[in-house]
Amino acid sequence: MQQNIPPENEIDELDGLCVHFVCLDDQQPIGTARLIPDYDPCNWLGKLGRFAVIKEFRGMGVGRDIAAAVEVYARDALGLKGLVLHAQLSAEAFYKKLAYKTEGAPFLEEGIMHVCMRKML
């Protein structure tokens, strides 16, 4: 909603194949992410996406905790060797703090500039 991405573009054919993560505060969802487990199966990579934290909860470690949960699950439950993601340029510094490395040039996705990032687990 906040990014003005049409709702029909938020749900796709991959949703049923993904592992979905939701962070709750007093039974209310405050953050979410999804993991595409076989994004790059030849290299044992998954893809982190649909990552969001409600504005009021940003800067409180919620995003860091969600990312950590995804990474532990990807490594321990699925045996993945790493994750890739498409970070909005405004969030690139956040992911760098989590040890993701930028790869390649910025690109446009859903009308927003992004960069591809990778982290080996």
- 21-50 pLDDT tens trace: 999 999 999 999 999 998 888 899 999 999
CATH 3.40.630.30 fits domain 7-120 = yes
Report how far residue 74's alpha carbon sits from residue 35's, in angstroms, rounded to the nearest whole number.
8
- 44-71 pLDDT tens trace: 999 999 999 999 999 999 999 999 999 9
Kindly report the pTM of this predicted structure. Answer: 0.87
Q: Is the pLDDT of residue 102 over 60?
A: yes
Enumerate the domain spans of the chain: 7-120
Instruction: Report the relative pairing of strands 28-40 and 45-53 from DSSP bridges.
Output: antiparallel
pLDDT of residue 1: 44
